[in-house]
C-alpha cells in the first residue's frame, strides 16, 4: 500500500502558498484494508476514508468513465491495480495532477510543475470536456491565480468553447453553478472569473443578465471605462480588495448594475432608473441559482439603493431612516456594513478611482448609531401605547440622524 499527497496541497506547496487542505490517494489497497487500519469510510460514490487522528481524506486510487450528461454522469472504478498515474489522469488541470510520495519526490506525468512555472492553467486530457463543472473550476482558479500571472492555455480555452457549443454546460445544475460562483467571488481577482466565462461563451449561458452588460455604454464623465461590462469587472475586483474572502459582498457587486442592460437605447448612455429596472433580473438570477436567502436579500438591497448611498450626504434624515429600515440595519448592523462595502466597490470600480474616498460610509454608520440609540422606554414612560410609540420613535430617530455632522467637503 502506497500513500501519496495529491492535488491542491502539492500545487500550493510548489507555489509557496499556505496549504489549507491535504488530500491523499492510496494505491494498492482495498476498502477492507483501510477499515482494518482504523480509517472510517465516508465516500458514497467511491471509496473515501477519514484518517482516525487527522480526519484528512484518503481516497483509493480510481479511474472514471463518462456514462451520461452533466456532473453526475460518471462511473468510477477503484481496485488495488489502479496506479497513481491513472488516478492523476482523471483530474482537471495539470497543476492539480501532481502527487508527492512519502519521501517528498513528485509524480508529475502531465507536466504540472512546468505549467506552474509557466503560470498556465492547462487541462490534463480531453476527458476534461466530460464534466462541465471543470469549466467553472478553471474560471475560479483564474480568479485565484491571475494575480500571480496565470492564464488559461489556448488549447484549454478552445476545448471549453467546444463544451459550450456542444451544450455540455447546459446540463450544469444550479447548485454547482452557485457553489463555484460563490467561491470565485471570494478569490482575489473575480474579474478573471468573468473574463474566462465570457471568452469561453459560458457567461451568456450561465449568466445572461451579466453577459448583457458588455457593450452597454455609460456616461464617460462618471465612468471613464464607458463599457458597463468593464465596470462590472472593476467593481468585482474592488469588492475583493475591500472585503477579502467575502462572497456576500462579492455577490452584491456581481448583481448591482443588472438594470443597465435594460436601459432603453434612446436614453443611453444615461441610465435613469436602472436601479429599479435591476430588481427583476436580480430576483431572477438569485432564484435560478437558488442562492441563500441573505444573498438574495442583500443583492436586491444594493441594486435598489446603491445610488442612495452615493447621495447620502444630500438625503433627508427621513430618507436615510427608510434606507436603514429597508436594510434592517438597526437590528443587524452587519447588513449596513455589507451594503456599504458593495457601494464603495461600485464607487471605486471605475477607471482612475481605485482609491477614491467614500465619506458616505462613515456618515451612514454614524446615522445608524444615532438612530439605534433611540429606545422605546421614554415614550412608554410618557404613557404612549401601541402604534403611537413607533411613530414617536421614528420622529426621534429622524431627529437624531439630522444631528449627525456631515464631513467637510
pLDDT value of residue 76: 65
Contact (CB, 8 A) for 369 and 332:
no
Phi/psi at 254 (nearest 5 deg)?
-60, -35
Q: Which residues of 121-132 are buried (b: 16+ CB within 10 A; e: fewer)?
A: bbbbeebbbbbb
Question: In this prediction, what percent of the chain has a pLDDT beyond 90?
Answer: 80
267-290: average pLDDT: 96
As a whole number of angstroms, the distance between CA 162 and CA 148 comes to 27
pLDDT in tens, 84-116: 999 999 899 999 999 999 999 999 999 999 999
167-192: average pLDDT: 96
256-266: average pLDDT: 97
pLDDT value of residue 65: 62
What's the grid cell of residue 307? 445610488
CA distances from 377 to 281, 373, 382, 385, 390 (A): 43, 11, 9, 11, 11
Q: Which CATH number is 1-122 given?
A: 3.30.460.10
Q: Which residues of 147-182 are buried (b: 16+ CB within 10 A; e: fewer)?
A: eeebbbbeebbebbeebbeeebbeebeeebbbebbb
Name every residue whose Cβ is closer than 8 Å to that of residue 404 and which is 6 or more positions away in sequence: 363, 366, 367, 370
371-385: average pLDDT: 89
Count of CA atoms in the C-beta half-sphere (13 A) of 69: 9
199-205: average pLDDT: 98
pLDDT value of residue 37: 87
As a whole number of angstroms, the distance between CA 318 and CA 312 comes to 12
Best CA proximity match to 64, nearest among 29, 90, 25: 90
193-218: average pLDDT: 98
pLDDT for 321 beyond 90: yes
User: pLDDT band for position 378 (50/70/90)?
Assistant: confident
CA distances from 127 to 15, 66, 131, 229, 263 (A): 26, 8, 8, 32, 42
pLDDT value of residue 180: 98
pLDDT value of residue 66: 56
Residue pointed to by grid coordinates 452587519: 334
Domain ranges of the chain: 1-122
Contact (CB, 8 A) for 27 and 1:
yes
pLDDT value of residue 79: 80
pTM equals 0.90
Contact (CB, 8 A) for 155 and 122:
yes
The secondary structure of residue 4, as a DSSP letter, is: E
Contact (CB, 8 A) for 323 and 273:
no
How long is the chain? 409
Amino acid at each position: 500500500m502506497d500513500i501519496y499527497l495529491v492535488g491542491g496541497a502539492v500545487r500550493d506547496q510548489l507555489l509557496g502558498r499556505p496549504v489549507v487542505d491535504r488530500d491523499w490517494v492510496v494505491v494498492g489497497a482495498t476498502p477492507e484494508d483501510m477499515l482494518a487500519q482504523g480509517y472510517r469510510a465516508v465516500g458514497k460514490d467511491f471509496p473515501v476514508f477519514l484518517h482516525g487522528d487527522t480526519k484528512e481524506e484518503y481516497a483509493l486510487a480510481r479511474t472514471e468513465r463518462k456514462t451520461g450528461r452533466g456532473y453526475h454522469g460518471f462511473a468510477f472504478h477503484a481496485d488495488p491495480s489502479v496506479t497513481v498515474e491513472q488516478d492523476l489522469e482523471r483530474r482537471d488541470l495539470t497543476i492539480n495532477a501532481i502527487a508527492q510520495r512519502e519521501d517528498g519526490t513528485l509524480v508529475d506525468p502531465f507536466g504540472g510543475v512546468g505549467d506552474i512555472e509557466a503560470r498556465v492553467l492547462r487541462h490534463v486530457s480531453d476527458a476534461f470536456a466530460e464534466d462541465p463543472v471543470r469549466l467553472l473550476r478553471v474560471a475560479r482558479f483564474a480568479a485565484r491565480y491571475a494575480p500571480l500571472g496565470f492564464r488559461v492555455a489556448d488549447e484549454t480555452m478552445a476545448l471549453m468553447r467546444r463544451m459550450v457549443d456542444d451544450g455540455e454546460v447546459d446540463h450544469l445544475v444550479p447548485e454547482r453553478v452557485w457553489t463555484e460562483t460563490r467561491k470565485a467571488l471570494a478569490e482575489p481577482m473575480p474579474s478573471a472569473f468573468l473574463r474566462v466565462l465570457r471568452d469561453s461563451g459560458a457567461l451568456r449561458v450561465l449568466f445572461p443578465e451579466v453577459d448583457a452588460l458588455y457593450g452597454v455604454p455609460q456616461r464617460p464623465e462618471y465612468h471613464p471605462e464607458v463599457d458597463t461590462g468593464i465596470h462590472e469587472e472593476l467593481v468585482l475586483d474592488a469588492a475583493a480588495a475591500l472585503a477579502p474572502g467575502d462572497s456576500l459582498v462579492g455577490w452584491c457587486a456581481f448583481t448591482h448594475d443588472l438594470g443597465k442592460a435594460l436601459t432603453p437605447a434612446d436614453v443611453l448612455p444615461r441610465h435613469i432608473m436602472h436601479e429599479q429596472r435591476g430588481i427583476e433580473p436580480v430576483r431572477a438570477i438569485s432564484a435560478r441559482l437558488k442562492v441563500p436567502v441573505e444573498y438574495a436579500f442583500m443583492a436586491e438591497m444594493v441594486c435598489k439603493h446603491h445610488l442612495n448611498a452615493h447621495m447620502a450626504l444630500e438625503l433627508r434624515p427621513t430618507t436615510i431612516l427608510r434606507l436603514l429600515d429597508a436594510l434592517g440595519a438597526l437590528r443587524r448592523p452587519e447588513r449596513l456594513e455589507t451594503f456599504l462595502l458593495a457601494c464603495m466597490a461600485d464607487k471605486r470600480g471605475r477607471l482612475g478611482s481605485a482609491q477614491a474616498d467614500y465619506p458616505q460610509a462613515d456618515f451612514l454608520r454614524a446615522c445608524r448609531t444615532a438612530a439605534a440609540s433611540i429606545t422605546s422606554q421614554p415614550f412608554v414612560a410618557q404613557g404612549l401605547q401601541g402604534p403611537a410609540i413607533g411613530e414617536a420613535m421614528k420622529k426621534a430617530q429622524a431627529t437624531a440622524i439630522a444631528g449627525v455632522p456631515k464631513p467637510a467637503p
